[in-house]
Amino acid sequence: MNKILVVIFCMCFQLSCNEKPMELTKPVDSKFEWSQVQKLNPAFDESLDSLVHKIEAGKYGYIDEIFITKGDSLLVATKFKNDYDLIGGEMKGKMGCGHKVCEDSTKVNIYNYYHSKYHPYYQEQDIHTLQSITKSVLSTVIGVAIQNGKLSGVDETVYEYFKEYDLTPAMEEHLKLTTIKDLLAMQFGVVWNEIGMSLEMDESNVSEMELSDDWVQYVLSQPIEAAPGQKWNYNSGASQLLSEIMQQATGVTLSAYAQKHLFEKLDIEEYFWKSTPKGSTDAEGGLYLTIEDLGKIARLYFLEGIWQGKRILPGGWAHKSFVKHAQDIYGDGGTEGYGFQWWMTGHQAALAVGLGYGNQILVLKPAEEVIGIVYAWNIFDQEGEYILTDLLSLLEAVE
């Protein structure tokens, strides 16, 4: 992510991290439903009207949906119409082709970013690609696996999960020192080019990984540049290694485990999760969810991992996830940091943020229990401002 964009949302909100365990209550049988707020405050209404007007005028490019909650109350759920058959129909490049220019049916697949069959919505359903917000869901599922005893914890080293791969002696030793925490915090220590790069760029490791036959082997073949845990570098390959770890630890794919132990618990029924050529779950950007269901996963963090009276995440997982395990990630004395697959901002880590290709945005304000989500698909050549600054201004007006 471009450093300028990180600085934009480095704002001074206060985060209260109450580590006192929440009391488990009697499980609730009924499904959770967001309560509807009938009346909002004038400042919020004015800010919302302004944002919607700018979206409809195309100021931010192609915005598909916005969703805002406070506590269990739904404040905003608005969808905008974009004709992606028309918008991307004639696009063609390294990462796909539009429906008007695809040469044959083999080009129409789940990793074709320009074809409206799969992006941004999956086959005309209400589920939208999360792109790298998938990583924050991945982290959540890892927490679930720790709660269920499938993983011993984030300090577990990872070599045993990869010893059957083709490893150099240096990589073998590197993996023996690497922990799950190092992968979650993007401190794997290998050379990886991703931040600030389009998937169309030849230098992009993430696009090369997605085009390879074996994603895990591709990641493990990269040069080592630092000891694990010592240097932060945003690396979608590290997230994919976590998918492999989950598959070996649980005996099922990441998506299958998430479906049974997270999605079912939250009554999430509509989703699609991409698979790699080897059949493992794409943990770096492959999940599609409705915007409301993504909001449920975010809300789970405000509830200390307890949903409808049932514990899903370990006690304290939210706090551990939102700690800046990697601090001053740009090396300029700034306050930007990185948690467990979450971007952390502000002096007190006041905002936990998920960001995805195409301008997917998930903002959590834990102190106020406010969630803001934007679904978009800004991957084309259009000009537009980044919506994050104005979204944060709107969230400030929530009472």
Q: Which of 247-256, 331-340, 363-372 has the lowest mean pLDDT?
A: 331-340
**Beta strand pairing call for 370-376 and 63-70:** antiparallel
What is the spatial distance between Cα 170 and Cα 28, in angstroms, rounded to a whole number? Answer: 51
pLDDT at 56: 97
Beta strand pairing call for 35-36 and 73-79: parallel
Residue 90: its pLDDT value, please?
Answer: 95
What pLDDT shows up at residue 15?
34
With a cut of 70, say whether residue 28 has pLDDT above it: no
Among candidate residues 354, 376, 367, 360, the one with its CA nearest the CA of residue 398: 367
Task: Indicate if the pLDDT at residue 23 is higher than 70.
Answer: no
- Residue 29: the pLDDT is 62
Dump pLDDT digits (tens) for 247-263: 999 999 999 999 999 99
Residue 34, both tokens: 């967001």
52 has a pLDDT exceeding 90:
yes
Ranges 16-20, 36-40, 127-131, 327-331, most confident: 127-131
CB 258, CB 273: distance < 8 Å: yes
CA-based nearest residue to 292, from 313, 309, 270: 270
Is the pLDDT reported for residue 39 higher than 90? Answer: no
Average pLDDT over residues 56-73: 97
Span 281-292, mean pLDDT?
98
Q: What is the pLDDT of residue 331?
A: 87
Mean pLDDT within 297-318: 97
Looking at residue 10, its pLDDT comes to 38
From residue 378, give the alpha-carbon distance in Å to each of 33, 42, 112: 31, 31, 15
Using the Cα atoms of residue 304, residue 310, residue 312 and residue 315 in order, give the sign of their dihedral.
positive
pLDDT-based confidence at residue 335 (cuts at 50, 70, 90): confident
Average pLDDT value for the chain: 91
Predicted confidence (pLDDT) at residue 293 exceeds the cutoff of 80: yes
pLDDT by residue (tens digit) across 154-198?
Answer: 999 999 999 999 999 999 999 999 999 999 999 999 999 999 888
Q: Give the chain's domains with CATH numbers.
A: 3-396 (3.40.710.10)
